Amino acid sequence: MKLLVCGGAGFIGSNFVRLRIAESDDQIIVLDKLTYAGRRENLADLDGNPQFLGLQHGAIEDADAVATAVEGVDAIVNFAAETHVDRSIAEPDAFVVTNGQGTYTLLEAARREQLRYVQVSTDEVYGSIDEGSFTEQSPLKPSSPYSATKTGADLLVESYFHTFDLSAAIARGSNNYGPYQYPEKLIPLMILNAMHGDPLPVYGDGLQVRNWLYVEDFGRGIGHVLDHGVAGEAYNVGGPDECTNMEVVRRIIELTGASDDLIEHVTDRPGHDRRYSLASDKLKALGWSPQTGFAEGLESTVNWYRDNPTWWESIRSGDYREYYARQYGRELG
Ligand code: NAD
Ligand code: TYD
């Protein structure tokens, strides 16, 4: 197959492109706006690989850019999104444009060209759950502007299946972690702060629970939905382990040799979802299962950040400093 991967220069998208090229004969072209979160360096090791057809710089809400990118492709996998909950609380505009208008623009192209379409979505569309796990039948109850725009996108995808018979499916992942994750999200932020002796800002009591999924396991899950998923269906792709944010931070402290004294409880996120948990039996019945436990995956993630300073040095010395000061009310050390 020839795939168009939108948002392939970001964290999960770049890991997916690398994995799919290693594990299939597919050829891949990437369409990416290269926002703060998207970086050419994330795909640099694929330059010259005959299966990697290159990166087209453009936005998914730009119909002309999309029309060029879809020429000759068999399927679209859409990772492109504004993805950080805290940024969606501070400035929701870009979330509505990219996650809403952008998804619509891709769906129109897929409909016109009769392409297979996979939407990469999130457990956050279901909202928070105190006990048990969400199935694909659970009601959609998003809490943040991020998750609300992702929910809107999922509903549009379903409408294109029902109305236009588009061969579209949805992969809803739980919280991902692994190499190449921008350090605004919990795990890479805590790893880099711990390595630098900066405070570790825990929102509220830190007893919120997340269902951690190693990024390669999500990549294989998305590939499974692309290859075997039934059109019109959504598939949960949940990680094998759940733990509280405090447990995550304490493990990172152990792995980096940092001091417990760096932990600082800060003002909680508004509308903070308490717990996410996914039941993934539907995708497991199609033969997928997560391979990497949290202890193993976190250790290799810490090692990756330790071994790749050139990747994060340019981020930590650039615009990220302004974001950090705005979000946390203090300068990065
Ligand atoms: P990311 O923020 O690291 O990357 C997003 C990518 O999309 C970047 O390369 C960025 O440049 C690109 N992009 C943003 N706006 C664009 C636009 N208008 N047009 C084209 N490209 C654009 O995000 P991620 O963590 O890799 O998430 C990828 C997808 O997976 C998202 O759809 C997200 O909702 C979903 N998801 C993420 C997680 C998680 O834990 N990170 C979990 C489940 C699902
Ligand atoms: P995050 O990585 O932003 O993912 P999401 O909000 O999509 O789950 O946050 C994961 C958890 O970590 C969430 O409960 C918020 C918390 N958190 C902190 O306590 N401190 C931080 O600095 C960040 C970024 C997140």
Atom in ligand 2 nearest the alpha carbon of residue 175 = 8
CB neighbours of 273 closer than 8 A, spacing ≥ 6? Answer: 124, 127, 128, 143, 144, 208
Bridge partners of 173, per DSSP, are: 122, 237
Is 146 one of the catalytic residues? yes
Per-residue pLDDT of the chain (333 residues; tens, 9 = 90+): 999 999 999 999 999 999 999 999 999 999 999 999 999 999 999 999 999 999 999 999 999 999 999 999 999 999 999 999 999 999 999 999 999 999 999 999 999 999 999 999 999 999 999 999 999 999 999 999 999 999 999 999 999 999 999 999 999 999 999 999 999 999 999 999 999 999 999 999 999 999 999 999 999 999 999 999 999 999 999 999 999 999 999 999 999 999 999 999 999 999 999 999 999 999 999 999 999 999 999 999 999 999 999 999 999 998 999 999 999 999 998
In the prediction, which pLDDT does 31 show? Answer: 99
**Which residue bears the tokens 């417990």?**
260
Helix (H, G, I), strand (E, B) or coil at 265: strand
CB neighbours of 88 closer than 8 A, spacing ≥ 6? Answer: 82, 95, 144, 145, 146, 149
Q: Which domains does the chain have, with CATH numbers?
A: 2-176+215-237 (3.40.50.720), 177-210+241-277+293-328 (3.90.25.10)
Residue type, 290: P
CB neighbours of 48 closer than 8 A, spacing ≥ 6? Answer: none
| Mutation pick for ligand 2 pocket among 181, 218, 245 (CB with most ligand atoms within 8 Å) | 245
- The rounded Å distance from CA 259 to ligand 1 centre is 32
In the prediction, which pLDDT does 333 show? Answer: 81
Cα(308)–Cα(273) distance, integer angstroms: 32
Ligand 1 neighbours, Cβ below 6 Å, are 6-7, 9-13, 32-35, 37-38, 59-61, 79-83, 98, 102, 120, 122, 150, 173, 175-176, 182
Segments of 225-315 assigned E as strands: 234-237, 241-244, 263-266
Query: In Å, how far are 101, 119, 146, 303 from 46, measured between CA atoms?
Result: 30, 24, 31, 22
CB neighbours of 221 closer than 8 A, spacing ≥ 6? Answer: 171, 173, 235, 237, 280, 283, 288, 290
CB neighbours of 314 closer than 8 A, spacing ≥ 6? Answer: none
- Residue whose CA is at the smallest distance from ligand 2 atom 6: 85
- Residue whose CA is at the smallest distance from ligand 2 atom 4: 185
Short-list 194, 122, 197, 195, CA closest to 154: 122
> Do residues 160 and 166 touch, judged by C-beta distance below 8 A?
yes
Cα(92)–Cα(86) distance, integer angstroms: 10
Q: Indicate the DSSP class of residue 286.
A: T
Short-list 117, 8, 118, CA closest to 55: 8
Segments of 33-106 assigned E as strands: 52-57, 75-78
Cα(177)–Cα(245) distance, integer angstroms: 13
Catalytic residue among 32, 61, 82, 124: 124
Short-list 125, 175, 128, CA closest to 154: 125
Is 131 one of the catalytic residues? no
- Which value, in Å, is the radius of gyration of the alpha carbons in the chain? 19
**Which residue bears the tokens 């929701």?**
92
Catalytic residue among 104, 117, 126, 146: 146
Query: In Å, how far are 103, 254, 316, 326 from 193, measured between CA atoms?
Result: 34, 13, 10, 16
**Which residue bears the tokens 């690989």?**
49
Ligand nearest to the CA of 209: 2
- Residue whose CA is at the smallest distance from ligand 2 atom 22: 201
- The rounded Å distance from CA 84 to ligand 2 centre is 9
| Mutation pick for ligand 2 pocket among 203, 243, 251, 326 (CB with most ligand atoms within 8 Å) | 203
Ligand 2 neighbours, Cβ below 6 Å, are 85, 175, 185-186, 189, 201-203, 208, 210, 245, 269
| Mutation pick for ligand 1 pocket among 18, 64, 83 (CB with most ligand atoms within 8 Å) | 83
Cα(174)–Cα(156) distance, integer angstroms: 21
Residue type, 296: E
